[in-house]
Structure 1
Amino acid sequence: MKIGVPIEIKNNENRVGMTPSGVFELTKRNHTVFVQKDAGFGSGFFNQDYIKAGATILDTIEDVYAAAEMIIKVKEPIEKEYTLIKSHHTVFTYFHFASSEALTKAMIKSKAVCIAYETVEAEDGSLPLLIPMSEVAGRMSIQQGAKYLEKPIKGRGILLGGVPGVPPAKVLVLGAGVVGYQAAKMAAGLGAYVIIMDINMKALRYVSDSMPNNVISEFSSEYNIRKHIKDADLIIGGVLIKGAKAPKLITKDMLKEMRPGTVIVDVAVDQGGCFETTRPTTHQEPTYIIDDVVHYSVANMPGAVPYTSTMALTNVTLPYVIKLANEGWEKACENNAPLGRGLNIVKGKIVYKEIAEAFDLEFEMA
């Protein structure tokens, strides 16, 4: 199969869809891999690395799309790429369709096969291709939150872990999944006082059994959320509903109950965000302020640590890429149930129910 790896052109996105090691595994199986010139530069991988792994370097993004049958990316295509995607393409990337009607309709129009990393689902309900980026984003949410709590950038002026004689910051984490668990772990390690909330008692029991004493689990409800936001210094939103829009757990009116300089980090922004006032931001302009509350909602947080993120992503995507390349999308998705659940849009038809429901569009079974 002919496989294309284009440069990611989303704002400040430095990750790349495949490492040279991944390219080597494909070319040794007699697949042809086209990598756009300098596609891996931001992640620390150079053209010569890809050439040594057997790739062919092409100058432009148009060349890559024209030459390839399957496109391997990191982030969803942006408007400039819509017309490059044709009916013969299989596109394998993070799509997050439920947060963008324009992208959804563009991919329907393209009649391409769209397989989303974030909905590839294992038999136990886990999301193996989302987990590594959720781990990165969860840890980064604390790293970024701690920074934006500093007074020069309009935060409350609090050191996350405090110092002897001065109490630490209070961190409220909404969601005890991968993002929330990693966020709580990082915050606890820095010495913060952490409340982590979820409606999943199994997840809360795991938190209670595995976290240090400065992490407290609590059942999530609007009443409990409203109670804790009044004195929380940093709030992390890490709620995910597979393939669907995130629920709005913090509404605009709640901001007035928070102290000036509170920082809220919405890791669920790719799925529409779990705060009502969330809007996607970029690494170039990561924050905005509403009612004296600092909002951080960068839609590609792991793109700030591209070497780590690209390595972690290729580790989990490569086995599926090899299946798709060896068998073609139809046979691969038929033979591999987790990969089959990754099908979102196929030849102009939405085959993932939550996406159709998000925009009141027609759904068809895959």
Structure 2
Amino acid sequence: MLIGVPKEIKNHEYRVGLTPESAEELVAAGHKVLIETGAGEGIGAEDDAYKAIGAQIAATPAEIFERAEMIVKVKEPQAAERAMLREGQILFTYLHLAPDPEQTRDLIDSGAICIAYETVTDTTGGLPLLKPMSQVAGRMSVQAGATALEKAHGGRGVLLGGVPGVQPGKVVIIGGGVVGFNAAQMAVGMHADVTILDRNPLALERLENHFESSAKVLYSTKAALAEQVAAADLVIGAVLVPGAAAPKLVSRDMLSTMKQGAVLVDVAIDQGGCFETSHATTHAEPTYVVDGVVHYCVANMPGGVARTSTYALNNVTLPHALRLANLGWQEALKADPHLLNGLNVCKGQITCKPVAEVQGHAYVPAATAIA
């Protein structure tokens, strides 16, 4: 199979679909890899590194999309890229379709087979291709929030860890999953005052056992959430409904109760965001202010630490890319029900139920679509 890797074109996105090491594995398995020139520069991988392992270099993205049987990316295809997709071509990348009806329509019209990293599952019910980026984003959320809290960046002028004789900043984390857990680890490590809210009793028990007295764990009711948000210096939105739009948990009314210069970091922004006042931002202009509250809503946070993120992502995507290349998409999906869960759009049909429901499309089960 010919696997194509275009250069990412989303604002300040420096990751790449395949590292030279991953490309080498595909070449060793008998496949051809076509890399757009400069695609790996953001992680320090020059074209020569890809040539050295037997990959070919393409001068333009058009060549990639025209020749490749499978496109391996990181971020969802932008409008110009979607226009180049063709019927029967495999697209393997993050999609986050629920809050993006325009992308969904374009993928339907393309006739491509679109497999989303974020809905591939594992035997434990987890999301293994989303997990490493959730780990990165969770850890980055505290770094980003700490910076936004600085007065020069519009924040309250609070140091999260405080100093002897001065109270630390109060960090409230909504959601105790992978993002929330990693955010809490960083915030606790900075000696902040940390509270985590969740509604899953098993998650609450796990968090309590792990953090013990270093973080407070609360069951998330509307009243508890409102109270914690009002007292917070930094609120991190870390909720996830797989494949679906994120619930709006922090309302505009809640902002009026918050401290001036407090910070919201919405890690759920890829799925539409969990704050009512959220809209996607970029690394170029990461924050904006609503009612005196600083919002950080960068939709590709891990792109800011591209090398770490790319290698972490390739560790989990490469086995699936190899399976798709070795078996072809139909046989690979039939053989692996967890990879099948990643199928979101198949030759004009929506095969991800949450996406179909939120956008009003007809839903076709993935198993039916590939039969």
Distance 1:221 1:361 in 2: 32
Contact preservation (8 Å) 1:192, 1:214: no
Residue type at the aligned position of 1:150: E
Q: Deviations over 1:81-123 (max 9, x none)?
A: 1111001210000000001000000000001000000000112
2:74 is aligned to 74
CA contact (8 A) 1:160 1:168 kept: yes
- Determine the C-alpha separation between the residues in 2 that align with 1:333 and 1:261: 49
Matched letter for residue 97 of structure 2:
F
Matched, 1:326 2:326: yes
Structure 1 CA distance, aligned partners of 2:255 and 2:56? 52
The answer for the alignment partner of 1:184 in structure 2 is 184
Structure 1 moving runs of 4+ over 4 Å: none
Return the alpha-carbon distance in structure 1 between the equivalents of residues 238 and 229 of structure 2.
Answer: 15
Matches within 5 A, 1:143-222: 143-222=143-222
- Does structure 2 conserve the Cα–Cα contact (< 8 Å) formed by 1:302 and 1:309? yes
Equivalent in the alignment of 1:362 = 362
Q: Which residue of 2 aligns with 1:235?
A: 235
Pairs aligned (count): 366
Corresponding residue for residue 305 of structure 2: 305
**How many Å separate the matches in 1 of 2:329 and 2:88?**
11
Match of 2:51, SS state, is helix
Percent identical across equivalent pairs?
Answer: 50
Q: Distance in 2 between matches of 1:16 and 1:211?
A: 35
Which residue of the partner structure matches residue 115 of structure 1?
Answer: 115
- Cα separation, 2, equivalents of 1:319 and 1:348: 26
- What CA distance in whole angstroms lies between the structure 2 residues aligned with 1:284 and 1:109? 32
* Aligned amino acid, residue 345 of structure 1: V
Aligned positions of 1:20-99 closer than 5 A:
20-99=20-99
- Partner SS for 1:257: coil
Amino acid aligned to 1:67:
R
Matches of 2:123 and 2:316, distance apart in 1 = 16
Q: Note the C-alpha offset of 1:229.
A: 1.2
Q: Report the Cα distance in structure 2 between the residues aligned to 1:28 and 1:82, rounded to whole angstroms.
A: 30
Aligned counterpart, 2:254: 254
Distance 1:53 1:199 in 2: 48
Q: What is the Cα-based RMSD across aligned positions, in Å? A: 0.6
Please report how far the alpha carbon of residue 207 of structure 1 lies from its aligned counterpart in structure 2 after TM superposition: 0.7
* 2:260 counterpart of 1:291: no
Alignment partner of 1:54: what SS? coil
Counterpart of 2:369 in structure 1 is none
Partner of 1:12: 12
Query: Offset at 1:160?
Result: 0.5
**Does the Cα contact within 8 Å between 1:263 and 1:294 map onto a contact in 2?**
yes
**What secondary structure does 2:108 align onto?**
helix
Q: Secondary structure at 1:305's aligned position in 2? A: helix
Q: Residues 294-347 of structure 1: CA distance to partner in whole angstroms, max 9, x if unpaired?
A: 000000000000000000000000000000000011100110111010000000
For 1:338, the equivalent position in structure 2 comes to 338
Query: Does the CA-based 8 Å contact 2:88-2:347 persist in structure 1?
Result: no
- Cα distance in 1 for residues equivalent to 2:155 and 2:224: 24
Encode CA deviations 1:117-161: one digit per residue, 9 max, x unaligned. 000011211000000000000000000000000011110100000
For residues 330 and 336 of structure 2, the distance between their equivalents in structure 1, rounded to whole angstroms, comes to 10
* TM-aligned CA deviation for residue 18 of structure 1: 0.6
* Aligned counterparts of 1:318 and 1:176: Cα–Cα separation in 2: 28
1:188–1:212 CA contact under 8 A, matched in 2: no
Distance in 1 (CA, whole Å) between partners of 2:96 and 2:84 is: 19
Query: Are 1:40 and 1:47, in contact at CA under 8 Å, matched by a contact in 2?
Result: yes
Tell me which residue corresponds to 2:3. Answer: 3
Separation in structure 2 between the aligned mates of residue 50 and residue 203 of structure 1, nearest angstrom: 42
Q: In structure 1, what is the Cα distance between the partners aligned to 2:80 and 2:281? A: 19
Alpha carbons 2:17, 2:74 under 8 Å: kept: yes
SS in 1 for 2:57: strand
**TM-score of the superposed pair, with normalisation by structure 2:** 0.98
Offset of 1:241 from its aligned partner?
Answer: 0.3
Whether the 8 Å contact between 2:170 and 2:194 is mirrored in structure 1 is: yes
Instruction: Please say if residues 4 and 33 of structure 1, whose CA atoms lie closer than 8 Å, have aligned partners that are also in contact.
Output: yes
Deviations for 1:212-236, whole angstroms, at most 9, x for unmatched residues? Answer: 5220100011110111111100000
Matched letter for residue 252 of structure 1? R
Q: Distance in 2 between matches of 1:270 and 1:18?
A: 22
Match of 2:277 in 1: 277
- 2:322 aligns to what SS in structure 1? helix
Question: How far 1:29 sits from its partner (Å)?
Answer: 0.9
State the alpha-carbon separation in 2 of the partners of residues 17 and 28 from structure 1.
Answer: 18
For the residues of structure 1 that align with 2:202 and 2:240, how far apart are their CA atoms? 16
Which consecutive residues of structure 1, in runs of 5 or more, have no partner in the other structure? none
Provide the TM-score with structure 1 as the length reference.
Answer: 0.99
The CA deviation string for residues 47-71 of structure 1, in whole angstroms up to 9 with x for no partner, is 0110111100010000111110000
The Cα offsets for residues 169-190 of structure 1, whole Å up to 9 and x where unpaired, read as: 0000000000000000100000
Q: C-alpha displacement at 1:288, in angstroms?
A: 0.4
